[in-house]
Amino acid sequence: MDYIRYVILLSRVAEVTEDLIKAHVNHLKDLEAKGNLVLCGPFLDYPGGIIIIKAESLTAAKAIAERDPFVSAGVQTYELRTMEVSSRDNNHLGMG
């Protein structure tokens, strides 16, 4: 079982329009339909949000992040992180 996930941290740098929000949501729906989306949502205490995805590689995750309409329109920047999931299935990374 694969325990690697990619975390896209979005930071808003300009105002977003309703059309961009709809395009962003369609991007998320596409990720979900393809089985890539794990979790997503806006932050309540920071102008931005988080998207956690499954991807074949860091390069593939970067391409997904850069296809996000918020990013391609320049209204949000992103940081990409690679995360190893700790769970009961992998004995919490062998330490549980």
Q: Is 10 within 8 Å of 49 (Cβ atoms)?
A: yes
| Stated pTM of the model | 0.92
Question: Residue 1's pLDDT is what?
Answer: 53
Q: Is 13 within 8 Å of 57 (Cβ atoms)?
A: no
Two structure tokens written together for 89: 């299935």
* Owning domain of residue 35: 4-94
What are the tens digits of pLDDT across the range 39-62? 999 999 999 999 999 999 999 999
Q: Dihedral of the CA atoms 73, 79, 82, 84 (nearest 10)? A: -110
Query: What's the domain count of the chain?
Result: 1
Q: How many residues does the chain have?
A: 96
Q: Token match 């961009």: residue?
A: 20
The enclosing domain of 66 has a CATH number of 3.30.70.1060
- Residue 56 makes CB contacts below 8 A (sequence gap 6+) with none
What are the tens digits of pLDDT across the range 33-42? 999 999 999 9
| pLDDT surpasses 70 at 91 | yes
